[in-house]
Structure 1
Amino acid sequence: MTEGATITATGLRKEFTLSQRSLFRKPPRVVAVDDVSFTVAPGTTLGLVGESGSGKTTVARMLLKLETPTSGSLTLNGHDVLGSQTPEQARTFRRTVQAVFQDPYSALSPRLRADRIVGEPLEAQGVEHAAIDARVAELFDQVGLGREVRHRYPHEFSGGQRQRIAIARALSTNPKMLVLDEPVSALDVSVRAQILALLRSMQERLGLTYVFIGHDLAIVRYLSSMVGVMYFGRMVEIGAASDVLRQPLHPYSRRLVAVASGATRLGDHRITGDLPSPLKPPSGCTFRTRCVYADERCRAEIPRLRVVGSGQQVACHHVEAIRDGVKPETGPLGGDA
């Protein structure tokens, strides 16, 4: 078994410049990710959860170097991956970190046979054709498809089989880390369990490190060692999956878990409300416009992650009082600072 990678993100921030709306004003900028930090140990999984627009996928794209952070640092096995790299260092990174995306239908070229799709990364690395053929056949066996079907085209496979092909492609270069961006959300329920079991067995066999982006908390709990909860571009809680998903501490995490468990309906007053506008984010705690515990301190001061209880890190001024049931409901708190 090969050793997985250690990935460490420190203070990641990503700003996007929108199209210019006026000749007399600077184009607006939107902060998609703000001050996100975490470390994923070899052979473990960090699950990132949160509503659409919370910044999960932007974090994933930065980990894959598909987006360049505005600021912050990212290291892989202690080596900086955001600074200038030689061509060989860049190729090594591409071999080490691979991705499996959400939609198995758009991820595969319909014009190429499955064996060519899986072997493409090896071709790019200059591997000889005979070695590529042997490796592709081995990978089709590993992902449960069988080497005899590798000459078919993508349209001849089901959705679950296509995702197995995408996984085989990701494994072709013997990576140490996979970024999994909702890899089962487009699949039928009956197929999801099979793909998740495959991902778990591969991690145990190969020692892979995973960063798993998901919205289904049951799936995240099954696959993750640690869970990070994101809201409006910030990490609001992070810790062991067993702690965060069973005894969440941040008000937002508590609501996500309550909705997922069926304990609270989406129409409940504690859940309603949309994400604030990225063009005009709230001052202080960005969750104050939806939080029943918000007060003037939440409007004035940005909460920072700090260790609470058994080791969870939580970004909330009043987390202890909320946990102990002594914090009165004083919000939500809208309006500008």
Structure 2
Amino acid sequence: MAEHGAHLTTASAFEDRPSIFEVVAQDSLMSAVRPALQHVAKVLAESNPGRYGFLWHWFDELYTLLDLSLQQHYLSSCSASFSENFYGLKRVPLRGSRRPHRRLATAGLLPKQHWKSLCLLVLVPYLKTKLEKLVSRLREEDDYSIHPPSSAWKRFYRAFLAAYPFVHLAWEGWFLAQQLCYILGKAQQHSPLLRLSGVHLVRLTVEDLQALEKRLLAAGTAQLPTYSVKDKVKLAVKKALGGLAFSLSTGLSVGVFFLQFLEWWYSSENQENIKSLTALPAPPPPLHLERDAASPLLPKLKTICPLCRKIRANDTALSTSGFVFCYRCAYSYVKSHQQCPVTGYATELQHLVKLYTPEN
């Protein structure tokens, strides 16, 4: 009887603690949404570069703004991020007793914990993405020797590239160690970011859901007092941002499985299968552009680079359009504009393909 009573006491003490599968699943939700939206932006930019090219060029910044409004809405109303709320979880301060666990946003997060959570949810993924792109670009520059071998800048970024794998290993090892401690019951958080925010995750209860419904009903039926013009403008802006975040969250909630399907559909493994099943011959070159004598970017001689108007050196083609340029000309232009200089198709540095002739 005593052992049975102890078991019940232990179970009740951890009944609100989510499993490792729940917390890992909610972590992977937003990481699945981002590449799906990125592919949508890429398709739109390739279909109409003039109208939708900015979506691809500024995708990281636009996604960060949308993520900021979305996470701010959910942290303010549900004390949780979008993915955490989607899986029925919420954030609870570490310093409180078990009483605040039963209450949702009536008390909510403290302002310090709220802003810490918001910064770590939005800024850390943005900075990590920018750092990974910087490392990829520096490695390409190092492979093609864009900078002189004796330059101080080249020595600096080579040292940076040598140290980056160890920094990345330490970062991922930190997350793995925290998850192992969470599995073994030695830590309240599965992620170091939650630990830095001063919160941990618990499951939503029936009381939490009822409190949320009452709060939404009260917000819908409450009458606004008399405000000044400045206060009305602030309320209107806040209401518009809240409506945008709510619309975005509702759309993501409905289409999250469709986005995950898109991620799988455009994954490298599935694309290899599609290519093997639907292998087609290479399309013909854009001869209609070559016949256009009025085009300022198409010289008459095929050995002339369309950008520098000189004989091409280190021939490099763009896989998105097929046109050939000097490597330095194509690299500089694509790095600055993220598009083909002739067709305007969305292009990245990884689309540069060096051509080797038999003379070389």
TM-score (norm 2): 0.21
* Greater fraction of residues in helix: 2
TM-score (norm 1): 0.22
